[in-house]
Chain A
Amino acid sequence: NAGVTQTPKFQVLKTGQSMTLQCAQDMNHNSMYWYRQDPGMGLRLIYYSASEGTTDKGEVPNGYNVSRLNKREFSLRLESAAPSQTSVYFCASSEVAATYGYTFGSGTRLTVV
């Protein structure tokens, strides 16, 4: 049972470089989310996808784009990385209602130098 799989686990980027964080879930969940975790800030929602074919902005969407490729996969793209995007990124999935809770991936630690 893989659950939610994120790749890569670690990445170092130079300012201005681009990259895509990949996320896939095998639980047939409809909703998927991208969060970032920063010290003292908790988990902040970047983008989410309530269902296949839809995406919406969260609290901190600037500098990011997302693609819900199919029901399983939800990718996060940084077009021009900035040091402020140094963070740990978590992908999560859930049934439509949050009452079931989220299943999180193990995270991607991104450093932008």
Chain B
Amino acid sequence: DQQVKQNSPSLSVQEGRISILNCDYTNSMFDYFLWYKKYPAEGPTFLISISSIKDKNEDGRFTVFLNKSAKHLSLHIVPSQPGDSAVYFCAASGIYNQGGKLIFGQGTELSVKP
């Protein structure tokens, strides 16, 4: 069963507008959530994270929102830039998970058009 789900395989937005990427999870024991960005032929790179004790975390143009009651998180990119075009993975972890292993979603491919 997929514990972390990204239901939109792709998203296309215009440069300068907001990009909103969504992620749902099913395991209520998850208490840390991360977003990774992946360019073709490269490994994923860490983008932003949020602890379950918060509902928002901001880093420059990137903001992650967490709604624990809905088991939903979203990544907002404002303003979107062509260089943001990539695949975005959300990931979740339970702090007491042995090895701190992350469970990833399927990914959403973002395309930002000039």
6 of the cross-chain contacts (CB-CB < 8 Å) are A31-B99, A42-B107, A48-B101, A95-B100, A106-B42, A107-B42
Q: With a CB–CB cut-off of 8 A, which chain B residues contact A42? A: 4, 6, 89, 104-107
| B114 interfacial contact with A, CB 8 Å | no
Q: Tell whether A96 pairs with B100 under 8 Å between CB atoms, given A42-B106, A101-B34, A101-B49.
A: yes
Interface residues of A in 72-113 (CB under 8 A from B): 90, 92, 94-99, 101-107
Against B, the Cβ 8 Å flags (1 = close, 0 = not) of A8-49 are 000000000000000000000001010100001111110011
Q: Tell whether A48 pairs with B99 under 8 Å between CB atoms, given A42-B107, A43-B104, A98-B93.
A: yes
A99 contacts B95, C-beta separation under 8 Å: yes
A4 contacts B44, C-beta separation under 8 Å: no
Q: With a CB–CB cut-off of 8 A, which chain B residues contact A96? A: 99-100
Interface size on A, as a range, is 20 to 34
| B32 interfacial contact with A, CB 8 Å | yes
| B51 interfacial contact with A, CB 8 Å | yes
Q: With a CB–CB cut-off of 8 A, which chain A residues contact B69? A: none
Q: List the B residue with the shortest CB-CB distance to A98.
A: B100
| A50 interfacial contact with B, CB 8 Å | yes
Against A, the Cβ 8 Å flags (1 = close, 0 = not) of B78-114 are 0000000000010101010111111111110000000
| B9 interfacial contact with A, CB 8 Å | yes
Give the complex CA separation of A33 and B102 in angstroms. 10
A97 contacts B100, C-beta separation under 8 Å: yes
B101 contacts A45, C-beta separation under 8 Å: yes
Q: With a CB–CB cut-off of 8 A, which chain A residues contact B9? A: 40
Q: Tell whether A58 pairs with B101 under 8 Å between CB atoms, given A40-B9, A41-B106.
A: yes
